[in-house]
Structure formats: structure tokens, C-alpha cells
């Protein structure tokens, strides 16, 4: 979140890049924390691969295969630049954040975590940054410890000193909560973790798409995110790791591409990043992600962040006007991203979502893959609206109108 100079977003022209918004009235798509829409330039780049140079990478001795290899590797460079990775080979392509975190848990975790070691998580983790560590703990006898949150939905930082000890080998934490929108003080957590010799995995699925994340500034050991939450296609994700760890780590999946030479009983493995990219990867999707990086960089991440903050402030204000609404998460917009979770008294979140759908408003209702957090908040589920660069004040107004309609419809005789 650099205080850079930038032009405000030209949302009107941005929206023209997304054919899904061409209907009248346009779809109010407010489920961006789950997955974002794909702009035309990203789809065009993937089409160009399929239409003009479709081939496998890293092996063909013919022109279009070389072209495919070049474009695939160019995408890696773009991602490396986006997060300021020191070396391009520190960017590993995976399927998504979940696969990236599983890769760390299986490869680094199995080699480095022993019985009695402690892995520190927070109660607001997405299941993708929880279940892989549960599995690792079950395999190794390690112990999971959890940082709690305040009633405001902020990380209980005072507890950190208690929980971090010389037993702590790893801290795995979301940069931004997918439910509450809370921006965690990840830099301070990384410093504190490193002070006790622990490594840090950052689940950046909700941060990299929305503001500038610099892995060297953070000094994180690993960082994971998904392409489909940042205008890219599904099926492509990223793992960043410090070079010394990635080089030492054993392979995750075995197969083609990840080997140097193969004997009957043993093999030696390829250099980074190929060591962690067994099999034919998602080539079109990687190329698409590269163009998604171009797209959000050209729009300007700082401008995207400011735009989302404006929408968030406005949404907070409008939603508070509705009687019987409970908002979860920090009340100060600067402590959170463009994610707003809430419930309406006496109406099940699914019903809220159902009525909103009939108004052309797409939001998420459910546990958001964060069941321990739902328990902490003492709710079964919540309704969640989340913003991105193409959302407008009108989208928020339509959300508000739909919520009023839901309230009228569902609580008519109880009033």
C-alpha cells in the first residue's frame, strides 16, 4: 500500500473490458473474494495460444513450441516482478493457493517438522491454510497453536509473544482475511517469528490481487496466491519461496519435466523452478495470468486499493442504515480490505443470497471455507460482499436495495 501518485481508476472504461457486464441492468458481481471476472485481454491472450501456437513447452524443437515456452516463462517473469521476487526461478506455478500451501506442507514440512514442534496459525485462516497443516501435524506429531482475534476481528497481537517460542517452527497466516477483510500486521508477525527462528508462510490469496505486495520487504519465507482472484483464469496459482529453502526442499510431485536424469531405481531432479512443476503445466492459464498481471498493473494497484476503499466506506455506511444488520470485522475501513461480512436478523444467509440473486446481485453466503472463524464469531454462516476494480457505487446501491427487499419479504409477518 504505497502512497504512490496515480490517476484514479477509469472504471467505466475498465468495465468495457468485461463482456459479462454488458447486460442491462448489468450484473452486480460482489463475490470477488471467491473468484474475479476475466477481462478481454486475458481471454484474448489465452485464445492466441490455442489458435496460433498451441504446443507443449520445454521440449519441442519447433517454432511454436519455442513460442509457447517463451510466453510461459515470460508470465513467470511478470509474476516475479509483481511481487518483487529476487530471482524469477523463485516463482513456481501451481494450480492455486491451496496447491501451493500443500506443496510447502509436504515438501518443506515433512523434511523440517518433527514431533513436538509447533505450527502457529490464526483462528481466521481459510481451510486451505489450515487443513494442510493439520495433515502435516498428524503425520509428524507436531502441535498446532492458534492466535485468537479480538471481538473487532483484529489479530490479538498481545498473544503473539506468548505463543511464539523456540518450539515454533512455522507460522502460517493469511495476509488478509477472506471473511472479515482484516489486514493482518504480517510484517510484524514475520519479524517476531524470525526472532524465534520460525519460518513464515503467507497466504496472500486476498492481498496480492488488491495491493502491492513485496516479498523482499516482507522478508516472508513462502508466499502463495491464486490467479483466478486477480483477473486471471482458474487452474493457475503461484508459490514464491526463498531460494535457499526451495533449493533444499525435496520434490512434491514426481514425473516429467521435474527430472534431470532418470535411472530404473533413482532419479536426479531438475533445477528450480522445474523441480516443482512435474507434468505438463497449465500453459494457457499461466500465459493468461501473465496478462492479468499486466492488466491490474496497468490499472494501477494503488488506484485499485483506493477505489475499493471508497466502495467499502460507502457500503459500510449504507448497510448500517438497515435495521437488524450485524457487520463482522473491523469497523475502521483502513484496517480492512474491500470485504464486508454481515448477517440480517431473522434471515438465513442463504435466503439473503437467494433474494439478491433475483435482483442480479451475486454475493456469497456460507462459511467461506473458514469454519473455525464462524465458530469464533458464533454464527452458522455469513453473507459476504467483496469488491474489485470494476465494481461501482451503483453495485452497492443495488446490494442495499436487494437487502431491503429481502428483509421485507422474509420478515413480513414477524414485524
Phi, psi of 358, rounded to the nearest 5 degrees: -70, -10
Q: How far apart are CA 99 and CA 132, in angstroms?
A: 9
Q: How far is the CB of 83 from other proteins (least distance, A)?
A: 33
Distance from chain centroid for Cα 226: 5
Question: What is the layout of strands, in order, in the sheet containing 168-174?
Answer: 91-94, 237-241, 222-226, 199-203, 168-174, 118-122, 143-147
3-class SS at 385? strand
DSSP class of residue 388 equals: -
Q: Which is nearer to other proteins, 256 or 366 (CB)?
A: 366
Q: Which is nearer to other proteins, 264 or 412 (CB)?
A: 412
Q: How far is the CB of 414 from other proteins (least distance, A)?
A: 7
Q: How far is the CB of 210 from other proteins (least distance, A)?
A: 27
Decide the pairing of beta strands 364-366 and 382-386.
Answer: antiparallel
**Grid coordinates given for 308:** 475499493
Q: Which is nearer to other proteins, 254 or 324 (CB)?
A: 324
Q: How far is the CB of 352 from other proteins (least distance, A)?
A: 9
Active site residue 231: no
> In this structure, are residues 231 and 298 in contact, taking their beta carbons and an 8 Å threshold?
no
Q: How far is the CB of 342 from other proteins (least distance, A)?
A: 16
Q: Which is nearer to other proteins, 310 or 351 (CB)?
A: 351
The backbone region for 288, taken as left when phi is positive above 0, alpha when psi lies in -120 to 50, beta otherwise, is alpha
Closest to 49 measured CA to CA, from 231, 297, 298, 290: 290
Q: Which is nearer to other proteins, 41 or 366 (CB)?
A: 366
- Residues making contact with other proteins (CB under 8 A): 348-351, 354-355, 357-358, 365-367, 374, 380-381, 409-410, 412-414
Q: Which is nearer to other proteins, 306 or 369 (CB)?
A: 369
Q: What is the DSSP code string of 155-192? A: B-GGGHHHH--TTEEEEEEESB-TTT-BB--HHHHHHH
Catalytic residue among 220, 231, 369, 404: 369
Please give the positions annotated as active site: 369
Amino acid at each position: 500500500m504505497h502512497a504512490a501518485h496515480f490517476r484514479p481508476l477509469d472504471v467505466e472504461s475498465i468495465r468495457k473490458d468485461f463482456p459479462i457486464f454488458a447486460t442491462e441492468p448489468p450484473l452486480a458481481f460482489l463475490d470477488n473474494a471467491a473468484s474475479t471476472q476475466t477481462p478481454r485481454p486475458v481471454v484474448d491472450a489465452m485464445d492466441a495460444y490455442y489458435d496460433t501456437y498451441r504446443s507443449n513447452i520445454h521440449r519441442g524443437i519447433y517454432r511454436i513450441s519455442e513460442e509457447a515456452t517463451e510466453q510461459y516463462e515470460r508470465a513467470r517473469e511478470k509474476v516475479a516482478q509483481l511481487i518483487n521476487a529476487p530471482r524469477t526461478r523463485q516463482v513456481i506455478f501451481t494450480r492455486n493457493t491451496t496447491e501451493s500451501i500443500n506443496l510447502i506442507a509436504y515438501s518443506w514440512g515433512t523434511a523440517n517438522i518433527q514431533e513436538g514442534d509447533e505450527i502457529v496459525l490464526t483462528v481466521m485462516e481459510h481451510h486451505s491454510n489450515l487443513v494442510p497443516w493439520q495433515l502435516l501435524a498428524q503425520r509428524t506429531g507436531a502441535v498446532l497453536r492458534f492466535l485468537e482475534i479480538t471481538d473487532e476481528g483484529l489479530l490479538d497481537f498481545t498473544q503473539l509473544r506468548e505463543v511464539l517460542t523456540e518450539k515454533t517452527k512455522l507460522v502460517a497466516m493469511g495476509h488478509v482475511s477472506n471473511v472479515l477483510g482484516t489486514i493482518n500486521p504480517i510484517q510484524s508477525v514475520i519479524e517476531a517469528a524470525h526472532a524465534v527462528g520460525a519460518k513464515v508462510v503467507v497466504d496472500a490469496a486476498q492481498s496480492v490481487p488488491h495491493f502491492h505486495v513485496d516479498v523482499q520487504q516482507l522478508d516472508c519465507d513462502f508466499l502463495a496466491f491464486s490467479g483466478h482472484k486477480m483477473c486471471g483464469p482458474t487452474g493457475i496459482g503461484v508459490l514464491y519461496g526463498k531460494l535457499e529453502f526451495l533449493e533444499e526442499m525435496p520434490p512434491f510431485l514426481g514425473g516429467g519435466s521435474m527430472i534431470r536424469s532418470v535411472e530404473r531405481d533413482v532419479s536426479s531432479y531438475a533445477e528450480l523452478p522445474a523441480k516443482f512443476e512435474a507434468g505438463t503445466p497449465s500453459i494457457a492459464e499461466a500465459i493468461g495470468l501473465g496478462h492479468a498481471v499486466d492488466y491490474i498493473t496497468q490499472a494501477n494497484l494503488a488506484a485499485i486499493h483506493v477505489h475499493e476503499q471508497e466502495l467499502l466506506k460507502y457500503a459500510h455506511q449504507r448497510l448500517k442504515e438497515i435495521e437488524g444488520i450485524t457487520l463482522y470485522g473491523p469497523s475502521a475501513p483502513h484496517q480492512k480490505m474491500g470485504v464486508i461480512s454481515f448477517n440480517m436478523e431473522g434471515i438465513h444467509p442463504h435466503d439473503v443470497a437467494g433474494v439478491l440473486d433475483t435482483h442480479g446481485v451475486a454475493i456469497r453466503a456460507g462459511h467461506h471455507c473458514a469454519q473455525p472463524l464462524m465458530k469464533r464469531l458464533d454464527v452458522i454462516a455469513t453473507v459476504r460482499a467483496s469488491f474489485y476494480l470494476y465494481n461501482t457505487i451503483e453495485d452497492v446501491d443495488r446490494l442495499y436495495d436487494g437487502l431491503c427487499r429481502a428483509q421485507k419479504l422474509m420478515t413480513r409477518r414477524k414485524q
